[in-house]
Chain A
Amino acid sequence: MTRDAKRLSLILLFAPFALWILLLIVLPHIGMVALSLREKVAPRIYEFGFGNYIDFLNEPIYWNTLLRTASMSLLVTALALLIGFPIAYYIAKIAGRRARGALFLMCLIPLWVSDLIRAFGWILLLRQTGVISSLLVWSGMTDEGIEFLYNDAAVIVGLVYTVILFMIVPLVSTLDGMGDDMIEAGYNLGGGHLTVLRRIIIPYAMPGIVAGCIVTFMLTAGSYLTPILLGGKNSSWFTEQIYNQFITRFNWESGAAFGFLLLAFTSITVWLGLRLSGQSLANTVART
């Protein structure tokens, strides 16, 4: 009786999740894979084949874009970690109890504004007639305005700004779980600042670091708005390529293949990262 009730409540609780996974994740992806394996042989005539994938390999601009997206995403992830770690450490370990909440809230504020608005904020700052350029002209450091937009640096700055919160949150929660006595013990047993950081704080925070890196890497590699708006025509982001296939060229087969390739590529990168850091997905996700 109670066992049945338990089972029923489990099923009821599990049902929305199962539906979500099935309808919104598994089914569309099966559709994508099926779509991507159709080759167009004549107008409205399709055949099963790997043509779309072979096209991708034969066209350097495609896989170069993918590699470029991946390497820039890795750079953004690394930068987010480098900038985010001290911030997270400050929030979790140094700030007082009251300051902690306020600081955390300040990290969250950018999320209240839409992606689009945030990107336009950067445009206002960085464009040739923007705030920074005008300031430089006004102060006499340059004669005419400088265009800060539409280069890789602008894309990276914008992306780091967008994703850093997703690095800070898991880091704060793991660092928060580390007692101060752990750090003090590290010093007490003879470790210097660097040793304590390297042998105690970072290994302890590793699950948080890995979780933060996975999320930021995935978000960056899959982002569309920020690279397009800040990088302009030169951004060559892989999501832009997918968009072009689907919308501009109306080549859904090829777009689906690209979409699937992006998923496979980022998954392999994450898997490699997990292997290299000696963490398991369950460990990092469960801990944060």
Chain B
Amino acid sequence: MTTDDAFDLECLGICKDFGAFRAVDDVSFRIPSGTFFSILGPSGCGKTTLMRMIAGFETPTQGDILLKGRSVLSVPPNRRNVKMVFQHLALFPMMDVYENIAYGLRCAGAGKDEIAGRVADVLTRVALPDLARRQIHQLSGGQKQRIAIARCMALNPDVLLLDEPLGALDLKLREAMKIELKLLQHQFDTTFVYITHDQSEALVMSDYVAVMNAGRFEQVGRPEELYHAPKTAFVAGFVGDSNRWSGRALEVRADGIKVETEAGLTVVATAFGDGAISAGDAVEVFVRPEFIAATRPGPDAAAPGGNTHSGTVDSVLFNGANSRVLVRSPNGTMIEADVVVTGGGNDLHEGDPVRLDWPFAQTMCFAAGGA
């Protein structure tokens, strides 16, 4: 077993069974000091169980958890230097802001003056220096969030766990808090482990993201890696939007794999992931809408190394900078493509004929059912 002080948190082969159900299955990872690490997965994938094991509220069936290189399996939750921001924050309503923050310091046996100093310090760092004597119900959603973080950070934890704390906020505030959380993490320079099912939260804030599905880590990497080089079909489908088609590999060529989708669309794709694909295999193909160029049909020939299809615009989904067209190809496949809607005469409209181009390299192909 190699341990190193450079890792704040290491999980080695963690498994957790609930009866016959395996909630977490052989998860291993290590988080370098001072990183923002996200665990991204759909609900029920085991991410909350994993976090509860790190915090000590559940005991792993197998495996070991190390904090700063030391195993904490035998350490009860109140002695682990891992603090947690709960989904609903769990601020104590019968105490004011000051007492909420002081609670942990009191438990640690700090003196009166030290508590006062630390509380004032941490409140300044979350930019709410005047709220010490406020009651919890008097705070706004964003303030509660920051107090919940301050309450943990006052104790100088090795790792701060955050369990989807932005879930209860409205959209505008959520966007603002994403940036704020990232800044807070920089400021405290503490390892944050952030759990979420919202891929945009994970991509925006994290240094590293682990994508979790059915109790396993599908892929761990930087947000760009997950987005542009997914290792599994699940990651390709879960992270970011994409057109997803099931089909069959017709032939494996030097420049890519020729695939016929179930609807009869023929595309050339590039193999991603570990599973080798040979002709005749069932495959899954993903193309991100921003790589598909939708233009009015013109005389210019298709670019080499690209798929070209024609179709008609079924509908225009206007959403400002993220506008999209839904294109129906002759065989009935619906293809989503990003477009710029300028409001001028060149915009695509419902019923217009349209030509779609996208490179082979951005057509991600995975062996179906494989890893």
Residues of chain A having any CB pair with chain B under 8 Å: 179, 181-182, 184-192, 195, 199-200, 203-204, 206
B86 at the interface (CB under 8 A from A): yes
A97 to B63, CA, bound (A): 31
Which of B103-111, B179-187, B215-223, B306-314 participates in binding chain A?
A: B103-111
Residues of B with C-beta under 8 A to A200: 92
* Listed stretches B76-84, B124-132, B321-329, B338-346; interface member: B76-84
**A contact residues around B87 at 8 Å (CB):** 181
Q: Give which listed residue, A179, A181, A188, A206, contacts B77 with CB less than 8 A.
A: A188
B29 beta carbon closer than 8 Å to chain A: no
The 10 closest A-B pairs by CB, nearest first: A190-B107, A189-B104, A185-B90, A181-B90, A181-B86, A203-B94, A187-B78, A187-B77, A191-B107, A188-B84
Partner of B88, one of A179, A189, A203: A179
Q: Is the CB of B93 within 8 A of A188?
A: no
> How far is A187 from B86 in the complex, measured between Cα atoms in Å?
12
A189 near B152 with CB under 8 A, answer: yes
- Bound Cα distance A200, B100 (Å): 10
Could you say which residues of chain B place their CB within 8 Å of the CB of A191?
Answer: 78, 103-104, 107
Check B104 against A190 for contact (C-beta < 8 Å): yes
CB distance from B28 to the nearest CB of A (A): 24
CB closest chain-A residue, reference B77: A187
By a CB distance below 8 angstroms, the chain A residues around B155 are 189-190
Q: How far is the CB of B189 from chain A (nearest CB, A)?
A: 21
B78 touches A192 (CB 8 A): yes
Max count, chain A CB within 10 A of own CB: residue among B83, B87, B92, B93: B92
B151 at the binding interface (Cβ < 8 Å): yes
Majority-rule SS of A interface residues:
helix
Q: How far is the CB of B1 from chain A (nearest CB, A)?
A: 27
Within 8 A of A (CB), among B25-75: 55-57
| A240 to B70 CA separation, bound complex (whole angstroms) | 69
Contact B108 A184 (CB under 8 A): no
- Complex contact B103–A181 (CB within 8 A): no
A244 to chain B, nearest CB (A): 46
Of the residues B56, B76, B93, B107, contact of A189 by C-beta under 8 Å: B107
A283 to chain B, nearest CB (A): 11
In residues 142-187 of chain B, which contact A (Cβ within 8 Å)?
Answer: 151-152, 155
Choose one: B88, B93, B108; the contact of A181 (CB below 8 Å): B88
How far apart are the CA atoms of A206 and B76 in the complex, in Å? 28
Q: Is the CB of A190 within 8 A of B93?
A: no
Bound: A181/B55 CA distance, A? 12
Partner of A185 from B79, B82, B84 at Cβ < 8 Å: B84
Q: Are A188 and B94 in contact (CB under 8 A)?
A: no
Interface flags, B253-270, vs A, CB<8A=1, else 0: 000000000000000000
**Which of B78, B92, B104, B151 is within 8 Å of A182, CB to CB?**
B92
* Contact of A195 with B107 in the complex, beta carbons under 8 Å: yes
Which residues of A lie under 8 Å from residue B79 when comparing CB positions?
Answer: 190
